[in-house]
Chains A and B, each alone.
Chain A
Amino acid sequence: GNSVTQMEGPVTLSEEAFLTINCTYTATGYPSLFWYVQYPGEGLQLLLKATKADDKGSNKGFEATYRKETTSFHLEKGSVQVSDSAVYFCALTTSGTYKYIFGTGTRLKVLA
């Protein structure tokens, strides 16, 4: 079945540090890939998405590239801010299904 694996957290960084959160997937067919962010006490919000291989999703300085050859969708940001402290979830869905599969989430803490 389809699955998503993302790196364990928590990840603690200093402000302006470079961020990478790894995400790999297994899927039949051609999945669409997503990163969601959850701020404390809130629901999940879409951060970015990519719907086909080699697409790059980007938003708020975050980027992720859909790599079919390595089945990966790693999230990156060049310079994190304290306000980026949140839990980040990688997710996928595939054509012909209605299910969205989520990773376990990676907590990011950014220190001033």
Chain B
Amino acid sequence: NAGVTQTPKFQVLKTGQSMTLQCAQDMNHNSMYWYRQDPGMGLRLIYYSASEGTTDKGEVPNGYNVSRLNKREFSLRLESAAPSQTSVYFCASSGGWTSLATNTGELFFGEGSRLTVL
């Protein structure tokens, strides 16, 4: 019963390095999301993908890129990491608005990826 799986769980980067966070869901959800969580800021949406083949910016997209590889997978890439990107990153998925009545419309979260940029 995997749900949403993120890798890696921990990563330390130097300023300017690049990396990709991977996310996969096995619930056949249409929509996938990347959030970052910072102390006192709650969760802020970076990018989302409403359905396979589409991606859109959220509140804080600068410095990030995403790829919806297929229905299951949604990756987040940092091309040139900065200390301001030190955060905990969460991937989430959802069956979408019309699925709320069937308990799949809410967000399902991965366990998080803790990224430190030195």
Binding site for B on A (CB under 8 A): 32, 34, 36, 42-46, 49, 51, 89, 91, 93, 95-100, 102-105
Contacts and interface: CB of A to CB of B under 8 A. Distances in A.
Of A32, A51, A91, A98, most B-chain CB atoms within 10 Å: A98
A51 to B, nearest CB: 5
B31 interface: yes
Contact of A98 (B31, B110, B111): B31
Contact of A51 (B33, B100, B111): B100
Contacts, number: 60
Contact of A32 (B40, B100, B109): B100
Interface residues of B, number: 28
- Closest 9 A-B residue pairs measured CB to CB? A43-B109, A104-B42, A102-B43, A98-B50, A44-B109, A43-B111, A46-B106, A102-B42, A105-B42
B34 interface: no
A51 B103 CA distance: 11
Contact of B33 (A36, A45, A100): A100
A34 B106 contact: yes
A93 B43 contact: no
A104 B41 contact: yes
Given A34-B107, A43-B4, A44-B109, 18 more contacts: A32-B97, A36-B107, A36-B109, A42-B112, A43-B90, A43-B111, A49-B106, A91-B107, A96-B97, A97-B97, A99-B45, A99-B48, A99-B58, A100-B92, A102-B42, A102-B43, A104-B42, A105-B42
